[in-house]
Structure 1
Amino acid sequence: MFKTRLRKVYLILFVIILLVIVTTLIDNQKHLYGNDIESIKRVITSLEGYENEWVEVLEIMDRGDNRIVGLLLNNDPGYIIFQKNSEGNYKWITIQKSTGYTIDSYVVPLAQENSSEELLYMIVTNWENEVANLKLTINETVIEREFQPGEPSVTLIEFPEVDNESYEIHKEFFDVNGQELKF
């Protein structure tokens, strides 16, 4: 009789421990966050359409509660944005990739605490990039940036302040000899 009770106690303990382990594993699989390079890669490859992507994180930039990650997906330029939640973890918000380009630019909207939105201009280059210089005109403001051809990079540019929240963007790319490149 004592052995039977002991077996029941052991069985109940085993079931409780098993439930705790299974619940923990399931809970960890549901919540992927972009807290570090490896977890960022896991988030990306867990997304539909990105399961088989080779991910190279180029740069991680934190701005307020936003985390912007410039990256290459199978050597194609792209980015992913995370937002910090109340527990301090970075939750995936959006991802974008430009297939077949060696350089691409994005207008990146970031949510702010006061419900406004900050706009950044982001340029991502890959290993095959031939661009050495960029001349970017946003409305009347001219911004120039240099790049190292053949080196992946991420560049963030803040949008200039305007009165009417309207932007006109013009970009020109140049090679190391100063010749304009057309894309």
Structure 2
Amino acid sequence: MKKRNLILVSFGILLVVSVINFYINGTKQLYGNDEASIVKVINSIEGYENKSIEVLKIIDFDNLRIAAFLSNNSPGYIQFDKNKDGNYEWESFEVRDDETFSFFIPDERKYLFVTNNENKIAKMQVSINGQRFEQEFTPDKSTVTWVDLPKNDKREYTYRNYRFYDKDGNIIKEYE
């Protein structure tokens, strides 16, 4: 009987220690408070555990933090919201695999362009709500470019006539 009680007590202690360990270590929240923690957050996302992450730029807008990065050299961004304790909690995330030039709209007022060192695009033109928009880029270099979208009372945007040019002014690709 003593042996059985000893086994039950040992099992009970082991169970309590396991639950406490899980609660302390298993529920640790990761925040995007600095570059190193942003990389940890990205690597904690399913499918990105073993990817190399290069943070290119971190920018804050009010209570938002947006980090542009390369994941195995593919452009991406992650967005964080500041909580009541002042920590940045992961909100959204996007990566465009196997691209050298990508653009995102993480905020309704801004375009985010992310390029890697294999990008050949030197200029982009697009019609936004009938207005011609043009932006230049540095080819063969990892870059982040923020661009304000044209003001629009309805906050609706129509994009047409995309044209992408190389450094010599030749059209690389275009679409309506």
**Aligning the two structures, in what range does the TM-score lie when normalised by the shorter sequence?**
0.7 to 0.9
User: 1:23 and 1:51, CA in 2 relative to 1: closer, same or farther beyond 3 A?
Assistant: closer
**By how many angstroms is 1:22 displaced?**
4.9
**By how many angstroms is 1:39 displaced?**
0.2
1:169 aligns with 2:168: no
TM-score of the superposed pair, with normalisation by structure 1: 0.77
CA distance in 2, matches of 1:31, 1:151: 34
Equivalent in the alignment of 1:26? 25
- What is the CA deviation profile of residues 32-76 of structure 1, one whole-angstrom value per residue up to 9, with x for unaligned ones? 000111000000001111111110000001011001111100000
Equivalent in the alignment of 1:124? 114
- Size of the aligned set, in residue pairs, is 156
Equivalent in the alignment of 2:128? 138
Residue type of the alignment partner of 2:57: E
Equivalent in the alignment of 1:112? none
Residue type of the alignment partner of 1:96: E
After the TM superposition, which of the residue ranges 153-162 and 70-79 deviates more from structure 2?
Answer: 153-162
What's the % identity of the aligned pairs? 40
1:49 aligns with 2:47: yes
**By how many angstroms is 1:30 displaced?**
2.0
Query: Counterpart of 2:118 in 1: which secondary structure?
Result: coil
**By how many angstroms is 1:119 displaced?**
3.1
Query: Counterpart of 2:102 in 1: which secondary structure?
Result: strand
**By how many angstroms is 1:134 displaced?**
1.7
CA distance in 1, matches of 2:54, 2:113: 15
- Consecutive unaligned residues of structure 1, counting only runs of 5 or more, are 1-17, 110-117
CA distance in 2, matches of 1:23, 1:95: 27
The structure 1 segments of at least 4 consecutive aligned residues displaced by more than 4 Å after TM superposition are 21-25
CA distance in 2, matches of 1:68, 1:143: 23
**By how many angstroms is 1:23 displaced?**
8.0
CA distance in 2, matches of 1:142, 1:81: 28
Query: Counterpart of 2:111 in 1: which secondary structure?
Result: strand
Q: Show the 5 A alignment for 1:1-183.
A: 22=21, 25-26=24-25, 30-109=28-107, 118-170=108-160, 171-182=162-173
